[in-house]
Copies of this chain bind each other. A is one copy, B any other.
Amino acid sequence: MKPIPAIPRILLGPGPSLVSPRVMRALATPVLGHLDPQLLSTMDDVRDALRRIFRAPDGSTALAVSGTGTAAMETCLANLVEPGTRMVVVTNGYFGERLAEIGQRFGAQVHRVAGEWGRAIDPTAVANAITSNSPQLVAVVHAETSTGVVNPVEAIAAAARAKDALVLVDAVTSLGGMPVDVAAWGIDACYSGSQKCLGAPSGIAPLVFTPRAWARRVACRSFYFDLGLLDAYWRERKYHHTIAATLVYALAEALAEVEDEGLEQRWERHRRHHESFTSELAALRLTLLPPEAEQLWTLHTVVVPDGIDEAAVRRDLREQYNIEIGAGMGPLAGRVWRIGLMGASSTPSAIATLVSALSTLIRR
């Protein structure tokens, strides 16, 4: 076997983001067993921190699934959807479509509210779909990683709650980088990933269920994703699986780093760097796909100018400058670059390096 790669890649794609030295050190701490009191005590701290960072209401269940953000998405759906469940899903991007697909795999009657990739969904369209479909579950991606768009979660949640539907929100690319407020927005279940704005490696994915969502769980077919079993492990120490201590450490340290910075200060940092990056792009005559009011602070879909070989720019950024950015997905393939400024990757130096390199490459 070849040696494993040891490359200080500047991670400015759609995630994973850079991991801070503090979190890397935590990751490399000696392993403890999955039932070790010391590890379980750290897991208690993780639960408490997640409740604060999600801004979840009292009595919410918080934990992290032993998998990636997609595992958390599937966990939420596996515990809220059974055959016949009526579900309204906002599909104005790849991850909204993934929510719909998993819902369908689990037997839901999925009604899609489709929207243009690159635009926020119209909350009135969602409200109308809720009225006409009487769904038990409304699912929406807050920060659509495929398009760089923020969807109007609060308005959608209000419409859903008015019809007594549960609200499931994907906050993979927003939690820790821009405002997410489960309690104030009336969200019932919400999940994220570790490797975006929270600043840990991937492989452990946080979620919260409010008491309202918890009470409406369905019989879960999956064993690995069964929230009742996961909660019994996290809270009552009943063996379910061998959680990765190293990832628990990394997540715990990353959450501590979020709270040391201050959650709102961290949002503000992401906003500030989004604005400076956007104006630097403008100086290069580069624009973002979504209109200004619909742009994420965390993930930027930059329109590839005519005459530029987008794949060559990504390759040269990687090979010459050691910078990773992402390609467009689906209908945006070849049309945009996806540039993440999340967690430890949201810094003036990362922006300076990228803008300078981009400037050289697109002028060539």
Contact = CB atoms under 8 A, between A and B. Distances in A.
Interface of A: 1-2, 4-9, 11, 13, 15-16, 18-19, 24-34, 36-39, 41-42, 45, 48-49, 66-71, 74, 98, 101-102, 105-106, 193, 195, 201-204, 221-225, 239-247, 249, 252-253, 255-256, 259, 318, 324, 326, 329
Contact of A74 (B5, B32, B223, B242): B223
A36 B201 CA distance: 15
B15 A242 contact: yes
A242 B102 contact: no
15 contacts: A1-B255, A4-B252, A5-B38, A13-B33, A16-B33, A32-B324, A67-B241, A68-B242, A68-B243, A70-B240, A70-B241, A71-B224, A71-B241, A193-B242, A239-B329
Contacts of A203: 66, 203-204, 244, 246-247
Contacts of A241: 67-71
A246 B7 CA distance: 12
A222 to B, nearest CB: 7
B34 A16 contact: yes
Contact of A32 (B7, B32, B39, B41): B7
Query: Taking each of A18, A45, A195, A204, which has the highest tally of chain B beta carbons within 10 Å of its own beta carbon?
Result: A195
Contacts of A18: 31
Contacts of A7: 30, 32, 38
Given A33-B9, A105-B221, A68 B244 contact: yes
A29 B41 CA distance: 27
Contact of A106 (B98, B193, B221, B246): B221
B70 A224 contact: yes
Nearest to A6: B29
B253 A4 contact: yes
Contacts of A202: 34, 66, 242-245
A24 B28 contact: yes
Contact of A324 (B33, B102, B224, B244): B33
Given A105-B222, A202-B243, A245-B16, A29 B9 contact: no
B36 A9 contact: yes
A201 B246 contact: yes
A3 to B, nearest CB: 9
A30 B318 CA distance: 15
B70 A4 contact: no
Contact of A36 (B26, B45, B324): B324
A256 B68 contact: no
Contacts of A31: 9, 11, 16, 18-19, 195, 201
